[in-house]
């Protein structure tokens, strides 16, 4: 058999190579590989499908591929000595690209070292966050029990995943099925954790199917964002009207209804839950995701929306001293609220700051990193209940402004949300009226940004005076070109301005801005501007001291900054200091979906923010009256 020396050599090599196989186990998955002695941890990880970050290409020149040697030893390399602290090295950290395996080892790959742990950016404004969601799925292959290893099934799972037994528990409902599930799947499958609780064990590798929803429940609009937790990516964004609108379009009407009707709060809760269920079902269907693969909902909303969502009576929010039932974040089983996702799914609600400054304001502060910057920053979340945040070197002042729903198109005679057919941009150029309509169809109404533009332009050309009154076309001060002045008509609400004639509009009647619409806008912007002014006063600052103004809100990027400043919605600062941050309330919720650290930050923001209650300020009425007027043209340009 061994006449040929080549064969003998080959056999020898084969033999010696076979002898040199060592075993490497990767935690927390418990994935195992047999590799020839001398293989790098990075290559071994690749073999079992774990990709490790290696910006330098795996040549020891970036120091990013830190892993922890859990059991067994791997000697230090000079790259380790260069990139890692002594403490890290002592704790067993090594660079995966340089670490060569020469004995059986167990290696933990931190999330930050994994390729799927990319920094993700959830909003245009927020800081990127590490992907470290509350919901986690692990594909795991366990060694089945035998007579010398009789560990409990649950402990076997935790041990295989390298999770500390004293930190994890198991959902008792699922516990009933656990042993049968493990055995049917031959101890190989996907463990599902929500927080530190094991809630499921699924046959096969289902780690690609893990989703959560960031939910922004506004007084007028609900926005839901479906997020793929493995990739840390938005999958779908959906919005719809809050069906509680039929109980009144402002918070006070809702609170009244809930307080004066038996089961009123439950009725309001059921409405909003049904709408959320519809929204989630629709988003899931569009994204081709099963609702049962959605494991968590993170909810932000103002305090009244928060209370109603949880079924807490909101009545005390409606009367002085407006104390909420709870400020802290709340965790509750999704099924307890009637939300149709994974049956043992969970809901996390953002912490509130005060009775009218809720989790949505916290979420804006979180998404914009407001408390993490040096300088003076003003963030205004424009909505039916507007939140005003002023951060002075990280110290946060917060107030709420009952703007009403004008910005979202409600209470405006031909107002509508910013969807197809809405006039979103208006300019008067060369004495002609130029409209931009969403999706370029004949206009059917006007949305918030269009309304602000319209009023700002009419103000600029002098058709609206400083008090908000639409001038008579015969007014001596009105030196208006014919093209504009003939659009000014009489109307049951006083004057009105024709944005689109019956022929131009798509609804068989003209689209108007009435005197009453202007008054609604004045009330709305006055409430916000008064709140801004009081916060500035409280901090001893003036508009000139602001480093930046962040505009948040559902109609975010559509607003024209010059128009907003011209009508006095925001203080007179150079336009380049005004930045849109989109729906930052939703952005913060999305950060909390993918990052436990973001939740800790949110709790801290809520705990440390100083709330300024405007209703008890003797100067509020005066500020409000002042702020309802429009600035002089020269002051606002």
Residue numbers at the binding site for a second copy (CB under 8 A): 145-156, 165-166, 169-170, 172, 175-176, 178-180, 183, 310-313, 315-316, 320-328, 330-332, 336, 352, 354-355, 603, 607, 611, 613, 615-616
Minimum distance, C-beta of residue 254 to a second copy, in the bound complex (Å) = 16
For the bound state, the minimum distance from the C-beta of residue 152 to a second copy, rounded and expressed in Å, comes to 4
Residue 230 CA to residue 594 CA, distance in Å, equals 9
Sheet holding 385-392, edge to edge: 578-582, 548-552, 376-381, 385-392, 395-402, 610-611
Q: How far is the CB of 434 from a second copy (least distance, A)?
A: 47
> Coil, helix or strand for 604?
helix
* 181 token code pair: 């599930």
Q: Which sign, positive or negative, has the C-alpha torsion 356, 357, 358, 361?
A: positive
Cβ closest to a second copy, residue 9 vs residue 323: 323
- Min. distance of Cβ 137 from a second copy in angstroms? 20
Distance of CA 199 to the CA centre of its chain: 25
In angstroms, give the least distance from the CB of 626 to a second copy. 23
Distance CA 511, CA 445 (A): 6
Residue (146 or 439) nearer to a second copy, CB: 146
The tokens for 310 are 């949880």
CA 627/CA 637 separation, integer angstroms? 17
Residue closer to a second copy, measured from CB, 258 or 554: 258
For the CA atoms of the chain, what is the radius of gyration? 30
- Minimum CB separation of residue 135 from a second copy in Å reads 19
Q: In the complex, what is the shortest distance from the CB of residue 309 to a second copy, in angstroms, rounded to a whole number?
A: 12
117 contacts 111 by C-beta, under 8 angstroms: yes
Q: How far is CA 353 from the centre of its chain?
A: 17
* 145 or 506: CB nearest a second copy: 145
Closer by beta carbon to a second copy, 175 or else 575: 175
CB of 183 to a second copy, least distance (A): 7
Task: Give the whole-angstrom CA distance, residue 567 versus residue 628.
Answer: 9
Is 336 or 490 the residue whose CB approaches a second copy more closely? Answer: 336
Q: How far is the CB of 260 from a second copy (least distance, A)?
A: 15
Nearer to a second copy, 317 or 496 (CB): 317
Q: Which is nearer to a second copy, 347 or 389 (CB)?
A: 347
Residue 279 and residue 284: Cα distance in Å, rounded? 9
Of 14 and 165, which has the nearer Cβ to a second copy? 165
- Could you list the beta-strand ranges (E) of 442-536: 445-446, 488-491, 494-500, 511-514
According to DSSP H, which parts of 60-165 are helical? 78-83, 86-90, 153-161
Nearer to a second copy by C-beta: 257 or 407? 257
Strands of 164-302, DSSP E: 169-170, 188-194, 197-203, 211-217, 221-228, 233-241, 294-301
Which is closer to a second copy, CB of 316 or CB of 629?
316
Which runs of E-coded beta strand occur in 270-394?
A: 294-301, 330-333, 346-349, 376-381, 385-392
Nearest approach, Cβ of residue 253 and a second copy (Å): 20
Q: How far is the CB of 205 from a second copy (least distance, A)?
A: 23
Least Cα distance to 271 among 292, 283, 257 occurs for: 257
**CA 314 to each of CA 180, 258, 266: distance values in angstroms, whole numbers, following the listed order:** 45, 7, 11
Distance CA 571, CA 600 (A): 32
The shares of helix, strand and coil residues in the chain, as percent rounded to the nearest 5, are 35, 25, 35
CB of 397 to a second copy, least distance (A): 14
**Comparison of 149 and 372: residue with beta carbon closer to a second copy:** 149
């Amino acid at each position: 058999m061994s006449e040929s020396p080549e064969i003998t050599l080959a056999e020898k090599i084969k033999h010696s190579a076979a002898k040199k196989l060592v075993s490497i186990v990767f935690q927390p998955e418990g994935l195992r590989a047999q590799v020839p002695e001398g293989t790098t941890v990075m290559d071994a990880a690749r073999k079992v499908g774990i990709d490790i970050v290696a910006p330098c290409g795996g040549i020891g020149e970036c120091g990013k591929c830190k892993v922890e040697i859990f059991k067994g030893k791997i000697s230090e390399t000079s790259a380790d000595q260069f990139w890692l602290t002594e403490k890290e090295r002592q704790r067993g950290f090594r660079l995966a690209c340089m670490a060569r395996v020469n004995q059986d080892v167990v290696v933990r790959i931190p999330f930050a070292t994994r390729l799927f742990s990319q920094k993700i950016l959830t909003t245009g404004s927020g800081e990127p966050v590490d992907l470290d969601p509350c919901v986690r799925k692990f594909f795991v292959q366990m060694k089945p029990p035998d007579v010398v290893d009789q560990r409990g099934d649950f402990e076997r799972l935790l041990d295989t995943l390298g999770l500390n037994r004293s930190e994890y528990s198991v959902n008792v409902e699922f516990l009933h099925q656990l042993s049968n599930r493990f055995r049917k799947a031959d101890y190989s499958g996907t463990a599902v954790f929500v927080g530190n609780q094991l809630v499921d064990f699924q046959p096969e590798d289902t780690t690609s199917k893990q989703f959560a929803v960031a939910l922004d429940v506004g007084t007028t609009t609900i926005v839901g964002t479906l997020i793929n937790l493995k990739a840390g990516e938005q999958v779908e964004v959906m919005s719809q009207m809050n069906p509680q609108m039929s109980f009144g379009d402002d918070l006070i009407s809702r609170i009244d209804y809930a307080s004066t009707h038996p089961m009123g709060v439950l009725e309001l809760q059921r409405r909003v839950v049904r709408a959320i269920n519809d929204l989630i079902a629709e988003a899931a269907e569009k994204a081709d995701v099963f609702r049962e693969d959605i494991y968590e909902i993170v909810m932000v909303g103002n305090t009244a929306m928060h209370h109603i969502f949880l079924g807490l009576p909101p009545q005390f929010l409606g009367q002085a001293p407006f104390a909420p039932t709870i400020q802290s974040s709340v965790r509750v089983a999704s099924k307890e609220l009637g939300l149709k996702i994974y049956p043992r799914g969970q809901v996390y609600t953002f912490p509130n700051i005060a009775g009218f400054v809720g989790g949505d304001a916290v979420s804006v502060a979180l998404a914009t990193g407001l408390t993490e910057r040096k300088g003076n920053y003003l963030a205004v979340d424009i909505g039916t209940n507007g939140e005003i945040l002023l951060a002075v070197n990280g110290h946060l002042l917060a107030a709420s402004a009952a703007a009403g729903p004008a910005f979202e198109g409600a209470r405006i005679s031909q107002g509508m949300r910013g969807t197809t057919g809405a006039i979103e941009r208006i300019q008067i150029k060369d004495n002609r009226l130029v409209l931009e309509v969403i999706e370029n169809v004949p206009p059917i109404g006007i949305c918030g940004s269009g309304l602000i533009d319209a009023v700002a332009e009419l103000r600029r050309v002098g058709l609206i005076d400083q008090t908000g009154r639409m001038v008579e076309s015969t007014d001596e001060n009105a030196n208006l070109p014919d093209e504009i002045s003939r659009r000014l008509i009489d109307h049951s609400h006083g004057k009105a301005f024709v944005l689109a004639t019956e022929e131009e509009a798509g609804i068989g009647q003209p689209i108007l801005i009435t005197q009453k619409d202007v008054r609604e806008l004045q009330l709305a912007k006055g409430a916000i501007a008064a709140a801004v002014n009081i916060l500035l006063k409280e901090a001893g600052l003036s508009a000139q001291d602001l480093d930046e103004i962040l505009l948040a809100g559902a109609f975010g990027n559509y607003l024209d900054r010059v128009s907003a400043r011209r009508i006095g919605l925001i203080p007179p600062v150079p336009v380049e200091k005004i930045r849109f941050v989109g729906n930052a309330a939703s952005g913060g919720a999305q950060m909390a979906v993918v990052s436990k650290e973001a939740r800790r930050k949110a709790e801290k923001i809520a705990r440390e923010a100083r709330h300024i209650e405007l209703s008890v300020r003797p100067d509020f009425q005066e500020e409000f009256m002042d702020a309802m007027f429009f600035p002089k043209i020269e002051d606002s340009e």
